[in-house]
Every structure is written in structure tokens, then in C-alpha cells.
């Protein structure tokens, strides 16, 4: 994730983990994960709304996406998660943390911040790991980097 304000383009000292105010221009920076490629991006309010709309198309059947299309996005999304996990392993990362969203289901919220070994979740759909009750689990995995981890950002389960 680029450490750049999406409004003014100025560099940020630290990658925001959640909504933050840009110290340069005062714009509110949102952190959002896109459904199709599972990429976390820093977004303006407008971009964040657009990503939320993308999510609604996947998670909410009333937005007229066919079940086949939802399945396809789900598959792509899972494949992307697996690729990310493999690249973490390649980089020597052992654990990931479950990263929920404010509108995650109760199971996912309960698992938010939990640290798990990557080798235990390889090839498992993320909704199986989280026990997600929604049609589309919005959780993501965050690599736990030794020593680089910002203290007190998310609670550790163990």
C-alpha cells in the first residue's frame, strides 16, 4: 500500500490502519479493501464510497448481480487471498492477523485481530477460517511482520 495521501499526494509517515486525517491537507483518508483483488488501498471519501458500492453488489442480492457472477468474484477473491498467503510465506512471514470490517458479522468481529499460522489456513476459504455468516466474507489477512508491527494497532488473541 502506497503511503500517500489520496487527496494531496503528500507522503504519510505511517500507513494508516483505519480512517485518519491527512496532516498535510486535512482530508479524511479511508482504508478500504476492494472485493475483486483484495487490495487494501488508501481512498478519498468518494473512492471509499465507490468501493463500498462494489461490495454491495457482491454482498447484497438486491443489487442485481447474478449468483454466478458473485460466485466468480468469490473465487477470484479466494485465489487472490491464497496468492497473498503464499507470497507472505515466501517472504518468511509465519503469522497473519484476521482483519475484519466495521460491518463484519459477529463471528468475524470476534476473530478480528486474531493471529494465526499461515500454514494452518492455506487452501482454506477465508469464510471457513472466520466462520463467516454473511454471503461474502469481507475479512482479509494482514501479514504479521516481526519488529515492524505497530504496537497497539489491533488486539492480539494470543
Q: Which stretch binds Zn ion (CB under 5 A): 67-75, 110-118, 137-145, 147-155?
A: 137-145
5 interacts with Zn ion by CB under 5 A: yes
- Identify residues 104-123 at the interface with Zn ion (CB under 5 A): 104-105, 108
End-to-end CA distance of the chain: give it in Å, rounded. Answer: 26
Number of H-type helices and E-type strands within the chain: 5, 6
Q: How far apart are CA 30 and CA 20, in angstroms?
A: 7
CB of 92 to Zn ion, least distance (A): 29
Q: Among the candidate windows 44-52, 91-99, 117-125, 136-144, which touches Zn ion by CB under 5 A?
A: 136-144
The full DSSP string for 43-55 is E-HHHHHHHHHHH
Q: Does 134 bind Zn ion (CB under 5 A)?
A: yes
Q: Does 19 bind Zn ion (CB under 5 A)?
A: no
67 vs 20: CA distance, rounded Å? 35
8 interacts with Zn ion by CB under 5 A: yes
Grid coordinates representing 125? Answer: 476459504
Between 116 and 132, CB nearer to Zn ion: 132
Question: Minimum Å distance from CB 129 to Zn ion?
Answer: 10
Amino acid at each position: 500500500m502506497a503511503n500517500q495521501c489520496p487527496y494531496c499526494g503528500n507522503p504519510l509517515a505511517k500507513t494508516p490502519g483505519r480512517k485518519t486525517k491527512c496532516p498535510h491537507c486535512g482530508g479524511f483518508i479511508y482504508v478500504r479493501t476492494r472485493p475483486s483483488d483484495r487490495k487494501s488501498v488508501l481512498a478519498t471519501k468518494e473512492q471509499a464510497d465507490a468501493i463500498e458500492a462494489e461490495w454491495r453488489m457482491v454482498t447484497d442480492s438486491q443489487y442485481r448481480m447474478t449468483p454466478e457472477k458473485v460466485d466468480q468474484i468469490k473465487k477470484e477473491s479466494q485465489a487472490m487471498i491464497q496468492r497473498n498467503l503464499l507470497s507472505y510465506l515466501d517472504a518468511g512471514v509465519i503469522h497473519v492477523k484476521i482483519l475484519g470490517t466495521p460491518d463484519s458479522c459477529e463471528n468475524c468481529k470476534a476473530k478480528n485481530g486474531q493471529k494465526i499460522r499461515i500454514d494452518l489456513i492455506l487452501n482454506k476459504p477465508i469464510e471457513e477460517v472466520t466462520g463467516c455468516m454473511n454471503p461474502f466474507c469481507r475479512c482479509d489477512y494482514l501479514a504479521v511482520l516481526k519488529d515492524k508491527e505497530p504496537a497497539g494497532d489491533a488486539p492480539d488473541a494470543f
